[in-house]
Structure 1
């Protein structure tokens, strides 16, 4: 959804006033490779009220299932490619439950890449469900044991993952997708910054049903 907020700059300005801290797992080089800060509650409340019915309609979520969400967070990608951990160098999935959804709002421009989606060649999987999670994990860990991934943010296809498509970054663009899809942030290493005015600033929200 492009031009999502009527006043996106107000949210970007709130990010400039926010206190960013390393994401959980930062020191262990796992999870999100950067900094996060709380988002004003009004954004979270309005976003949830809007997306709850839209997600149910567009992704086939039964009305009987209750919505559960995590707090919305400003996110800034800051880790240099050479400092990434092994699993931060390959595509990932957020959860293997059937109705876990990610909602990503870009508060940065096209030069900050986007979000790409992939298929794992060895298993043929592009969506990691509960019945395929163990098979996928075993295959990926075996591949990384044989040959560690290069120290870079993943982008194009390689011998292990096939690029299926990219949602490009655009200021005030909201992207909603299933968290079980294999995906990766497309990161421009020359634009890494802890300054919300210059870095890869996004707002990340997650919903489960």
Structure 2
């Protein structure tokens, strides 16, 4: 089963696809063409063990300036010392959840996602075949938890919700799981992965 899932993920990621955006569900938004976006990478760690594969997610610290308390992937902006966005995602996963270097098997990438905060984020899909001691970085991560991959690949589990933001109504994807409210950029990137796996 793990090999079948890994093969299916690889095949899905090999297809061409369009980039996504926090503005996908808000087509009336006009973005300045000269805007400068910062490159970033997030790791989508699919953990394989005795049971069904699960995706590792984090709940950001409520003390953070940006996106406090939100559900996210381990990751962040590309630093000067990072070779590329994949290296940035792996470094951030090491810092945020204690993922040892060399443990993640990179399977491929989703097209980049533009966030409302000005980042050009590349989701890096990786298989984690061996267990490791998860250590949450106390300054950034309040909690680390997992969600069944099957739940995140089922289009029926995704909802479109909205709220007022900067004077207008903004629509976005959500994919709730138990007590966790997964929404925004994280849910949009997961929806893109689910769409890839459907085809």
Quickly name the TM-score band, shorter chain normalised. Answer: under 0.3
**What TM-score do the two structures reach when normalised by structure 2?**
0.25
State the TM-score, normalizing by the size of structure 1.
0.25
Report the structure, 1 or 2, having the larger strand content.
2
Q: Which has the larger radius of gyration?
A: 1
State the structure with bigger RCO (CA 8 A, min sep 6), 1 or 2. 1
